[in-house]
Structures are given as C-alpha cells and as structure tokens.
Amino acid sequence: MATNLSGLIRKAGTMDGTRNIVNLFANLPTVATVLEKNRGAGPGFDALRIGLALCILLFHSIQNSYGSRYSAYVPTFFYPIILALLPMFFCLSGFLVTGSALRTRSVPLFLTYRGLRIFPALAVEVTLCALLLGPLLTTVPLKNYFSDHQFFEYFGNIISIVRYTLPGVFADNPVPHIVNIALWTLRPEFHCYFAMSLLMLSSIVYRPTLYTRLFLAASVYVAILNVVNGFGNPTSTFPWHVILYYFFIGIAFFHWKEHIPLHFSLFAAAAILSYFLLPLDGTTYVAAFPLTYCMVYLGTLKIPRVPLLQNGDYSYGIYLFHFPIQQTLIHFFPGLREWWLLFPVAATLTILFAAASWHWIEKPSLSLKKHFDFLRTWRIGRILPADQPR
C-alpha cells in the first residue's frame, strides 16, 4: 500500500495527521472483504492450523527428550510463543465454528458436524494406542494388561474422560507413563461446543451486539479477577478456562469481521503487544485481544503451503498422533533423546499418520454430512429473522 501507516502515525499529533489515519483505516481491507474474495474461507487458515500443530509438535519434542529438565532447553524468549500456541488454536476454532453455527442454525446439525470432525479419528487413535501400541510396549504380562482398570479407562478418552496412562507403557521414558498428553484439550474443546450450543439455543450467537455486550462484560469481570487474585495467570500453559475464553473472543471477532481492518503495521503492533503481555501476571485477558488479531490477520494471508501438506487438512491428525509417536520413538531409540533429532523424525512419521488419518478416516467421515441434512429443519430455540434488530 502506497500510504505509509507508520509515517501517518508519527504525524498523529496534528489534526491533519489524525484525519489521514482515520481515512486510511476506512480504506483498508477488512477481514470480511478477504473472506468474500475467497468464497467465505480465509486463504491462510489451513496453513495456520498446520503451522500451529507443528509448533506444538516441536515443543513436545523438547519436552519428551528431556522430561522434567526440558525448561532448561527452551530459551526464555520462546516462552511467550509457546504460551500463544493453544490460545491461537482455540480463538481460530471460535472464529471458524461461528461460521458453521450461523450456516447451520440447527443445534442437532451443528453437533453432528462437530462429531463427524472430532470422534472418528479420535476413536481410531485411542483404540490403536490401547490395542496395538500398549500390548507391544507394556512391561506387564498381557493378561494383566488387558484386565487392568487403566486399559478400560483409557477408552474414556473418546468421550473426553481423559486418561493418560496404559499399564506398564512408557515407564522409563523421560516423560514417564504418559501416552498422549495432547488429549487434555479434549475437555475444553467439548466445553466450547456445549457453550456454542447454548448460544444457539438462546439465539445470542445470532445477535452480534447482544453477544458482544455480554462478552465484554464478562471480559471486564475476569480481567479484574486476574489482576486481583491471579485468576487465569499462566504457569507452563494457560488453565482450561482461559483456553475457553479464547474460543469466545474468536466468536466476537467473527461477528465484527466487517469492521476489523487488515494491515501489517497493525499486525506487528498486535504481535509485539501479545509477546510482552502473554507471560505477565494480570494481563491474561488483555493479551487475548491482540493475539486474536494476529490469528485473524495470518488467516487472511495467502501463506505458501508445503506440497506434501496441500492434499488435505492434516492439522488434527498431527495434533492427535504426534505425542504417542514421539514417545514410541524415544522408547525404541534412546539416541533420539535430543529435540533436534527427535523433531524431524517424529514430524515425518506424524505427517504420514496424519495424511492416512485424513484420507482414510476424517475425509470419509466428513463426506457423511450430506446424510444428516434433514437435521437442518430441527431448529431448537428461537431463531431471529434476518431483519430483526440485533
């Protein structure tokens, strides 16, 4: 863009400079205009999801290589970036899932679509770990393995009753006993879908102004709690209710996408703010606003994709399978207990598993959506006409 935003900001002390900045923002493309040009989809959202999943894989490569000593191998300046990964996943989910909710306008259909996306691959991953990986690696007799309560409880992961251990599996790894720590996000993810269902039932999600007022009021409340008693402050990661908050802010950004300007200078400012605010106590909920802008901005870019990753949405498979693959590699090949060795090997195998999951499980499951179109008429709750005040 010919107009130099940073130059105008330096002139903001004058009336003309302020007027120029206002005019510039009025002429900037918005999130909505980019989505419209791309048939309702952000050109960079798929690449962003895969990038976030690979970043989490990289972080877990460090964690799985060194166990409780992993923090010594993470440079301090990377900490805010690590903190940002899951929140970005969830605000991205809130942004995209809102579009699905507004298109379906049916709670049964919305939940069916979410179920088809989440459960098939999850069920396969959990079953493979319990019935194949566990018996192969366990240090206890198979009779004891298959009769142990941990074996039966592990299947609860399919319905978000999260369990991390299988009998005698990975006992000697640097991160001992944990089969798939990534499953901890299942519960907040299901909470997000339950919350969206309530917003649909109450019609609040169809009324952007009402939703935004309620969201901002809640934001002020939790921000005060954050300052007063540390509610939501980060430790090694954010607590689940902060992750859930990012889903809600993603909804708000979707509702106001027509009014969110896009410019690299705004992105740079938001990225700097996020970087410094995320690790601080008392700024957890304030940091969510610039970080969500970063997510939306990146999602509207045409991010180049690696040819190997262009044939499907492999992000869910990467997230789902990477941890047990890393643990298995470390179990069989102790020489891989260096993150820079583990990461490329684990990433390659994980992408292969993710591709198989997409083409053989996830994509066929999603193709079943058309068989549930009859649920579109099952609209529970009051749906506002399009011309009713919001």
pLDDT digit string (tens) for 324-339? Answer: 999 999 999 999 999 9
Neighbours of 2 (CB within 10 A): 3
Q: Work out the percent of the chain whose per-residue pLDDT is above 70.
A: 90
Q: What is the dihedral of CA 350, 355, 357, 360, to 10 degrees?
A: -150
Q: Answer whether residue 390 shows pLDDT above 60.
A: no
Quote the pTM value.
Answer: 0.90
pLDDT tens sequence across 289-301: 999 999 999 999 9
Q: Answer whether residue 175 shows pLDDT above 90.
A: yes
Q: Answer whether residue 385 shows pLDDT above 50.
A: no
Q: Is 352 exposed, middle or buried (0-12, 13-18, 19+ CB in 10 A)?
A: middle
Alpha helical stretches, state H, 38-173 = 45-66, 79-104, 107-128, 134-137, 142-147, 149-154
Q: For residue 4, what are its two tokens?
A: 């130099």
Q: Answer whether residue 214 shows pLDDT above 60.
A: yes
Question: Closest Cα partner for 90 from 186, 189, 160?
Answer: 189
Give CA–CA dist 329/174, Å, rounded: 12
Q: Answer whether residue 225 shows pLDDT above 90.
A: yes
pLDDT band at 1 (very low <50, low <70, confident <90, very high): very low
When the pLDDT of each residue in the chain is averaged and rounded to a whole number, the result is 91
Q: Answer whether residue 7 shows pLDDT above 60.
A: no
pLDDT band at 284 (very low <50, low <70, confident <90, very high): very high
Task: Please give the pLDDT value at position 386.
Answer: 42
In contact, 150 and 165? CB cutoff 8 Å: yes
* 21-45 core/surface letters (b: 16 or more CB in 10 A; e: else): beebeeebebbbebbeeeeeebebb
Q: Answer whether residue 12 shows pLDDT above 80.
A: no
The domain locations on the chain are: 28-105+184-372
Cα R_g (the chain), whole angstroms: 22
pLDDT band at 308 (very low <50, low <70, confident <90, very high): confident
Residue located via tokens 């120029």: 20
Give CA–CA dist 177/81, Å, rounded: 27
Rounded average pLDDT over 189-211: 97
> What are the start-end ranges of the E strands in 331-370?
none
With residues binned 3-state (H G I as helix, E B as strand, rest as coil), the percentages for the chain, rounded to 5, are: 75, 0, 25
Q: Is 215 exposed, middle or buried (0-12, 13-18, 19+ CB in 10 A)?
A: middle
